[in-house]
Structure 1
Amino acid sequence: MALDLLLSGGTLLDARTGDTRRADVLIRDGKIAAVGDDLGGAPEADGVAVYDASGKTISQGWMDMHVHFREPGQEHKETIETGARAAAFGGFTAVACMPNTEPPIATRDVAEFVRKRAEGLAVDVYPIGTVSKGRKGEELAEMADMAAGGAVAFSDDGSPVQHGGLMRRALEYARTLDKPILGHEEDLTLNPHGHMNEGAVATRLGLPGIPGLAEEAMIARDALLAGFTGGRVHVCHISTAEAVDIVRRAKARGVPITTEACPHHWALTDAAVEASSYDTHTKMHPPLRTAADVQAIKDGLADGTIDVIATDHAPHAGFEKEVEFIEAPFGILGLETCWGLTVRDLVRPGVLTLAQAVHKLAVAPREILGLDVPSVEVGAEANLTVFDDSTEWTFEQRHIRSKSHNTPFVGAPMVGRAWAIVNRGQFVEAEA
């Protein structure tokens, strides 16, 4: 059924320019029919359902360019449908799915499967293909074929490409396709068996550490390769101060490199592992780092070194996380808590303006992936997020829309809510 809806009384924020104005948005048949003042009395709005957006902001729909929806092969953790449900609750109208599925998104048919499974959902779901066949780091995957099947980027995700020559060829090939390589940047020879940040806390807890050096050395390598080949590198989930500085210096040299930060890497430190008595919900990869690293991430977001806010949404079933710390898989949920942590830790303290935060959610991810940024203009397909930056609330179990429940933020205070999305002719309202 076609969507007819009037968003009334809200503030329209253009995520491209940062401009704001009070405006109603009239949607007819899933498209924006009018933008202006007091459209409720206009003849074209007769009989249209009204959503009261008073006190709320309306922007282009947000995108998370780094999620794990686990389908195919790991549907006990998450499915494309349940992942999209979590995305909608978090205010996202689009996501890009990492390829560490079973089988991995390493061939065109699997990329097309992901797209097919997302048909009819209110959230656009884009597949990310592998760099190497089977994510084994030995031979390039059929990148052009996957791109033809809908892959928007390439990554070996948690199995980072260790062979420098293979990465060089991947960047050269991806450049011909105008696609980025998304890197889980880690030299595995520098981290054979770590489980949390290498440092004083890990020493006290008796846990093998993951040194920041492993991340930094690989970013430095890939920055050099990107500069040499002209291929685009996107650094996933950056986590250390030195890593941020490496990207900053590479950008200053004109290297085609971008990066993202995840809320857990600015909201928590490795002290959370100790304070929680080895709670496996504090185990992620890259791991939680130090207070100095947190500050560096905030500085990088503020000065533009870090382009994107992403979540690395990584669901795991309860039985997988309810084990000893060293036996637990890495990863936590991120979609449902992203905006509440962004406003709480970045917007309200003045690290980012509201417009800057929304730009890192709505515009930058799509630009990096070569996707069209939604337009809030008459005739455009309605692709919108309705949110605020003022509501103070506590994240609870009942707010989780994912199939899994692995998050350390249950009981955490949040600021700012995503209230609804409009996309693909559908209106999805987040229940309080």
Structure 2
Amino acid sequence: MTTLLKSAIIIDAFSPYHKQTKDILINDGIITKIDTNIPKKDGYQVVELDNLHVSTGWFDTSVSFGEPGYEERETLRHGIQVAAKSGFTDVAINPNTSPIVDNKSAVEFLINKVNGSATNIHPIGALTQRSKGIEMSEMYDMQQSGAIAFGDYNKPVSNDNLLKIALLYAQNFDGLVLSFPKNNSIAGEGVANEGKNSTLLGLKGIPALAEEIQISRDLFLLGYTGGKLHIPTISTAKSVQLIKEAKKKGLNVTCSVAVHHLFLTDDELHGFDANKKVTPPLRTEEDRNALLKGIQDGTIDIITSDHSPIDVEHKKVEFSTAKDGTIGLESAFGALNTLLDLETMIKCLSNNPRERFGLDKITIKENEKASLSIFNPEGDYTFSEENIISTSKNSVFLDKKLQGKVYGVFNNNQLVLNS
């Protein structure tokens, strides 16, 4: 198949065509020519779209689907279509299914289920058996079957020695360990950020300290053991500072932030909308600004949607009893596009996550594989249910003003566009 992208503005700091408007010719999934004007020919699949922009394919490092076990929330096949139409060529799948992804058979099931799709999936294996935090999982076997990292989704490793052993053991095969930043003893039964708003609303609070003390512990352990540590979805100003200091000391640590923590604060909770109940909780404006600064100065490496579909039965309930989580694939670009310049966004959505999680490096030039996200950064709109492709509709961004349009992806010699 031959595909021709006409008048595409290329956003790729590693490409010789960065910020240039070019035609891109793709034959059998490989970029064969980039030039100012490539003539159309019979049989070409031609893409001509308003203000067409392309970048290297986006990689979301924290995506949950339902299957297996919670197919009513999202199936793998439909979820992969959602990811593609949201601009993501690659997604890392969290292990929070039923059964938990804690062995090589479970990893292989995920990969084989959607093999050949436009969007690639990369399973994250559970760090501990059944994500119970008691015994270490079969990490090496899972990596041999395709797992790219190991962590218990939204569950902290409370056992200090277990995390120490995991960091030591993973070094034998260059494994990446994830440690969710939450101290359950301090967080207790909290459901919202501890502060002015939780007090006014009568909601049990989760102190920022619950995140920061866990990160401090993780960094001390990493300094002792060595190895590779990734801290997902940080949310406080102090967390940014702790990781910044650790990097200066030479520790091999990275971190991510969820889009909603860059965009929203706990002021959103006054309507008791359970869609706004997420983990970690939405924090303060001071925290939000510190996170944005952390993106700009390179302390925060990766941005994720932290996509987590929850069925209506577990969201249309009282705030304190609702399940945590928001979908985020469809709204990720539109939200980030209101906050960040395109180069910074692409670095945190593509280059940095690919490098940290061990995916092949890609760039937009001739004789390279075409792995492209396709979008238009212009145009404001209000995000509504009409913009949601996911089976579950639990979006924290409903009724928010976003900017830009994702057209889709070209990856694995397949073009997927929004209708």
- The CA distance in 2 between the partners of 1:29 and 1:83, in whole Å, is 25
- The CA distance in 2 between the partners of 1:6 and 1:399, in whole Å, is 27
The secondary structure found in structure 2 opposite 1:39 is coil
Q: Quick one: which amino acid aligns to residue 34 of structure 2? A: V
The residue aligned with 2:8 is 10
Which stretch shows the higher mean deviation, 67-76 or 328-337? 67-76
**Deviation per CA, 1:26-73, whole angstroms, max 9, x where unpaired?**
1122222211121125xxx54312111452211111110111112211
The residue aligned with 1:375 is 363
Is the Cα–Cα contact under 8 Å of residues 179 and 370 in structure 1 kept in the other structure?
no
Is the Cα–Cα contact under 8 Å of residues 327 and 395 in structure 2 kept in the other structure?
yes
- The CA distance in 1 between the partners of 2:14 and 2:83, in whole Å, is 22
Give 1:59's match in structure 2, choosing from 55, 71, 96: 55
Question: Aligned residue pairs: how many?
Answer: 418
The residue aligned with 2:381 is 393
The residue aligned with 1:407 is 395
Where do residues 209-358 of structure 1 align in structure 2 (5 Å cutoff)? 209-274=205-270, 277-344=271-338, 346-347=339-340, 353-358=341-346
**Deviation per CA, 1:391-413, whole angstroms, max 9, x where unpaired?**
21222212111110001322221
Is the Cα–Cα contact under 8 Å of residues 8 and 40 in structure 1 kept in the other structure?
no
**Deviation per CA, 1:205-243, whole angstroms, max 9, x where unpaired?**
111111111110111111122222221111111100111
Q: Quick one: which amino acid aligns to residue 408 of structure 1? A: V
Q: Quick one: which amino acid aligns to residue 29 of structure 1? A: D
- The CA distance in 2 between the partners of 1:279 and 1:124, in whole Å, is 33
1:76 and 2:77 aligned: no
Is the Cα–Cα contact under 8 Å of residues 278 and 325 in structure 1 kept in the other structure?
yes
The residue aligned with 1:416 is 404
Structure 1: tracts of 5 or more residues without a match: 348-352
**Deviation per CA, 1:336-356, whole angstroms, max 9, x where unpaired?**
000101011x22xxxxx3212
Q: Quick one: which amino acid aligns to residue 310 of structure 1? A: T
- The CA distance in 1 between the partners of 2:13 and 2:63, in whole Å, is 22
Structure 2: tracts of 5 or more residues without a match: none
Is the Cα–Cα contact under 8 Å of residues 16 and 359 in structure 1 kept in the other structure?
no
The secondary structure found in structure 1 opposite 2:327 is coil
- The CA distance in 2 between the partners of 1:281 and 1:164, in whole Å, is 33
Is the Cα–Cα contact under 8 Å of residues 50 and 376 in structure 2 kept in the other structure?
no
Is the Cα–Cα contact under 8 Å of residues 11 and 342 in structure 2 kept in the other structure?
no
Is the Cα–Cα contact under 8 Å of residues 283 and 330 in structure 1 kept in the other structure?
yes
Is the Cα–Cα contact under 8 Å of residues 179 and 369 in structure 1 kept in the other structure?
no
The secondary structure found in structure 1 opposite 2:101 is coil
The residue aligned with 2:97 is 101
TM value normalised by structure 1: 0.94
- The CA distance in 1 between the partners of 2:232 and 2:14, in whole Å, is 23
TM value normalised by structure 2: 0.97
The secondary structure found in structure 2 opposite 1:295 is helix
The residue aligned with 2:121 is 125
Q: Quick one: which amino acid aligns to residue 364 of structure 2? A: V
Q: Quick one: which amino acid aligns to residue 37 of structure 1? A: T
Which stretch shows the higher mean deviation, 320-329 or 375-384? 375-384
